[in-house]
Amino acid sequence: MVKLEDFVPADHPLRRPILLLVNEALKRLNRLFGVIYADTGRASIAPEKLLRALLLQVVFYSVRSERMLMEQMRYNLLFRWFIGLAIEDAVWYHSVFSENRDRLLEHEVLEAFFTEVMSLVDKRGLLFREHFSVDGTLIQAWASHKSFRAKDGSDDGLPPPSSGRNADTDWKGKRRSNDTHESSTDPDARLFKNSKKSPAILCYQGHILMENRSGLVVSAVVSHADGFAECASALRLLDCVPGGHAKTVGATRLTTRATS
């Protein structure tokens, strides 16, 4: 008789130390899980399995949708083993998975899990507090260019949003900037581009602070998209690092030094 664990190589990186570290952090969250999950009612996805599935989707394998994640779980034995599903266990519906994920977001479980992982790696001496790197990426907003309209209501003949989803628009020769325009569907999004050759899109900027020795993600933040966000976010993230050590942080086209 073959067990599911037999299909995972002994030297696979998900086996050690990742799974051991994840399980230890999840044990520390048992009290929080007991508060947000009732003892009665319809059975929901176990939070431990849900968090492991999210790690596979977002951190390790970049699965782009819940539908594709559920498809992978049907036939990917590595995914089933890591999440804790037996071969004969049914896979969840993608809508049920999304609803349960929203519950974790509502109760800030993901933040608590990240904090527990950071506490564990710090106790094991894996967190190096002197040299850091910050990097960012553009996160495209769920807003179209047609929603980017003048703040004062003067749209120079542009059709209003209610005139049709696919109404033609022509912005040639018309100046559009974040100072004078904003998206009617996502006011926090900013029109931004990475370089002169890349197109401008409505987006946010995501920033990740990593320590250089072990390559651990120490903190992350999302900001408005502008030319100074990476510098400001780097200093903001460094302030959250515990310990009073001299720190250096490197960034794209920027190196910032701070001492605490």
Tokens linked to 157: 């003949």
Query: Are residues 143 and 104 part of one domain?
Result: no
Query: Are residues 110 and 148 part of one domain?
Result: no
Number of folded domains that form the chain: 2
pLDDT band with cut points at 50, 70 and 90 for residue 3: confident
In a domain, 133, yes or no: yes
Cα–Cα distance for residue pair 252/9, rounded to 1 Å: 38
Cα–Cα distance for residue pair 16/174, rounded to 1 Å: 57
> Which pLDDT tens digit goes with each residue over 113-167?
999 998 898 888 888 888 888 888 899 999 988 889 888 877 655 555 555 555 5
Please tell me the least confidently modeled range out of 40-44, 61-65, 226-230, 255-259.
255-259
Query: Are residues 224 and 132 part of one domain?
Result: yes
Q: Are 201 and 193 in contact (CB under 8 A)?
A: yes
Query: Are residues 31 and 79 part of one domain?
Result: yes
Q: How many CB atoms lie within 10 A of CB 102?
A: 10
Tokens linked to 93: 């519906």
Q: What are phi and psi of 47, to 5 degrees?
A: -60, -30
* Identity of residue 141: A
Q: In the predicted model, is pLDDT for residue 50 greater than 70?
A: yes
In a domain, 27, yes or no: yes
Query: Are residues 209 and 89 part of one domain?
Result: no
First to last CA, the chain: 58
Give the HSE-up count for residue 40: Cα atoms under 13 Å, Cβ half-sphere: 0
Residue ranges making up the domain that contains 177: 128-154+173-260
Query: Are residues 147 and 95 part of one domain?
Result: no
In a domain, 56, yes or no: yes
In a domain, 235, yes or no: yes
In a domain, 47, yes or no: yes
Query: Are residues 252 and 132 part of one domain?
Result: yes
Q: What are phi and psi of 190, to 5 degrees?
A: -125, 145
Query: Are residues 249 and 137 part of one domain?
Result: yes
Residue among 61, 58, 60, 143 at smallest CA distance from 97:
58
pLDDT value of residue 159: 56
54-83 in b/e burial notation, b at 16+ Cβ within 10 A? bbbbeeeeebeebeebbebbeeeebbbbbb
- Contacts for 124-128: CB closer than 8 Å, 24+ residues apart: 126/214, 126/216, 127/211, 127/214, 127/216, 127/218, 128/211, 128/212, 128/213, 128/214
> Which pLDDT tens digit goes with each residue over 180-232?
999 999 999 999 988 888 888 999 999 999 988 888 888 899 999 988 888 88
Cα–Cα distance for residue pair 211/96, rounded to 1 Å: 36
Query: Are residues 101 and 133 part of one domain?
Result: no
Query: Are residues 150 and 93 part of one domain?
Result: no
Query: Are residues 133 and 100 part of one domain?
Result: no
Cα–Cα distance for residue pair 161/116, rounded to 1 Å: 46
pTM of the model: 0.76
Give the distance from CA 94 to its chain's centroid.
19
Q: What are phi and psi of 74, to 5 degrees?
A: -70, -35
In a domain, 168, yes or no: no
Cα–Cα distance for residue pair 85/63, rounded to 1 Å: 18
In a domain, 87, yes or no: yes
pLDDT band with cut points at 50, 70 and 90 for residue 259: very low
pLDDT value of residue 252: 66
Query: Are residues 76 and 48 part of one domain?
Result: yes
% of the chain with per-residue pLDDT over 70: 84
> Which pLDDT tens digit goes with each residue over 64-112?
899 999 999 999 999 999 999 999 999 999 999 999 999 888 889 999 9
Mean per-residue pLDDT for 11-32?
A: 91
In a domain, 139, yes or no: yes
